[in-house]
């Protein structure tokens, strides 16, 4: 009897081990692609997201960073057609594919970055994220990316300093309108081409957050970073609508939970990286300038007037955000 019990226990243990092995081998692999280099805080946050989903579910998430599967425009289109499960894209880019995201690109929409986090992590943000399901992707989370400012080899401290300068922007109508309102000439260029465009003089400057300015080495070709903080456009972690519908309710719940938890992880990595980047930038010879923010805010008011005229269906959403401050 003792021998039989030992045999039964051993067989059960072997069965569990084989089952776990089979599950691991047969786990459905979902790809996550993004454009950020490995050391970028967003890259670290997405790696954490992939690891946690893999640990908690019977899915395996494999990350392809640093433009491995293409530029942001390409990866978002791959998500839309169901050939890629997840991607991280800038909020300005999502606006070209789904209507409600447009409002997020408006300049000086929030008083502070903290205010933007509060609003976008609540019901207002959730509504925007869910609105793109019909457009082929569902937003899982807005990953805060601080604020965007100008950088160039020319000091930009007030709107007049932008006059006549060619500034790289995301391919977003609002970004383009903002540059025009400030007197600059907007030049839409993919993120992966900005370094060479600055180096070759195709553009005179660009605008982005400090971690991206540093991690992409744009400081090598644009010495001055001006903290005008004209927008706080978050990154969007998106999942393919088609692939999402194939997942079990349990796996969908796990992915949503991990995506929400990644907000705090992102903030931690982001703040640490900003502090480090500022020190390294100064050591490299770059200069971080202060800017006349009230003057910039005054100059972009026509952007709001045009937005309301061109997007009457989004005026209510804009007012909801403004009233939530």
Question: Does residue 16 register a pLDDT over 50?
Answer: no
- If you average pLDDT over every residue of the chain, what do you get? 91
Indicate the pTM of the whole model.
0.85
CB 79 within 8 A of CB 87: yes
- Provide DSSP, 240-306: EHHHHTTS-HHHHHHHHHHHHHHHHHHHHHHHHHHHHHHHHHHHHT-EEEE--HHHHHHHTHHHHHH
The Cα 91–Cα 101 span in angstroms is 7
- List 295's β-bridge partners, or say none: none
Question: Does residue 165 register a pLDDT over 60?
Answer: yes
Question: Does residue 237 register a pLDDT over 90?
Answer: yes
Question: Does residue 6 register a pLDDT over 60?
Answer: no
**Tens-place pLDDT, residues 47-73:** 999 999 999 999 999 999 999 999 999
Report residue 15's pLDDT band, with 50, 70 and 90 as the boundaries: very low
Least confident of 63-67, 143-147, 223-227: 143-147
β-strand 235-240 against 166-169: which pairing, if any? unpaired
Report residue 21's pLDDT band, with 50, 70 and 90 as the boundaries: very low
**Tens-place pLDDT, residues 102-118:** 999 999 999 898 999 99
Q: Mean of the pLDDT values across residues 65-83?
A: 96
Q: Mean of the pLDDT values across residues 259-287?
A: 97
Question: Residue 26: what pLDDT?
Answer: 54
The Cα 160–Cα 266 span in angstroms is 35
């Amino acid at each position: 009897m003792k021998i039989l019990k030992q045999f039964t226990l051993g067989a059960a243990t072997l069965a569990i081990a084989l089952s776990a092995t089979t599950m691991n081998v047969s786990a459905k692999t979902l790809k996550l692609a993004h454009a950020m280099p490995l050391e970028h805080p967003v890259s670290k946050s997405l790696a954490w997201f992939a690891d946690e989903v893999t640990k908690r579910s019977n899915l395996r998430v494999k990350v392809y960073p640093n433009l491995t599967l293409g530029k942001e425009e390409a990866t978002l289109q791959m998500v839309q057609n169901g050939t890629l499960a997840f991607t991280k894209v800038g909020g300005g880019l999502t606006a070209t594919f789904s209507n409600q995201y447009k409002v997020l690109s408006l300049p000086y929409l929030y008083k502070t970055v903290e205010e933007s986090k509060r609003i976008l992590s609540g019901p207002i943000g959730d509504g925007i994220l869910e609105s793109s399901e019909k457009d082929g992707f569902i937003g899982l989370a807005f990953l805060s990316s601080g604020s965007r400012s100008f950088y160039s080899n020319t000091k930009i401290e007030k709107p007049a300093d932008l006059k006549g300068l060619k500034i790289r922007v995301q391919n977003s109508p609002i970004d383009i309108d903002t540059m025009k309102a400030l007197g600059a000439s907007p030049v839409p260029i993919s993120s992966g081409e900005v370094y060479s465009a600055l180096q070759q003089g195709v553009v005179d400057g660009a605008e982005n957050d400090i971690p991206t300015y540093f991690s992409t080495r744009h400081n090598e070709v644009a010495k001055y970073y001006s903290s005008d903080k004209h927008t706080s456009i978050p990154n969007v972690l998106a999942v393919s609508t088609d692939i999402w519908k194939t997942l079990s309710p349990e796996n969908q719940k796990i992915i949503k939970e991990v995506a929400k938890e990644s907000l705090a992880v992102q903030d931690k990595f982001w703040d640490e990286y900003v502090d480090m980047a500022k020190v390294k930038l100064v050591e490299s010879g770059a200069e971080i300038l202060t800017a006349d923010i009230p003057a910039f805010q005054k100059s972009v008011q026509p952007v709001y007037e045009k937005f309301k005229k061109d997007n009457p269906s989004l005026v209510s959403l804009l007012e909801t955000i403004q009233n939530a401050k």
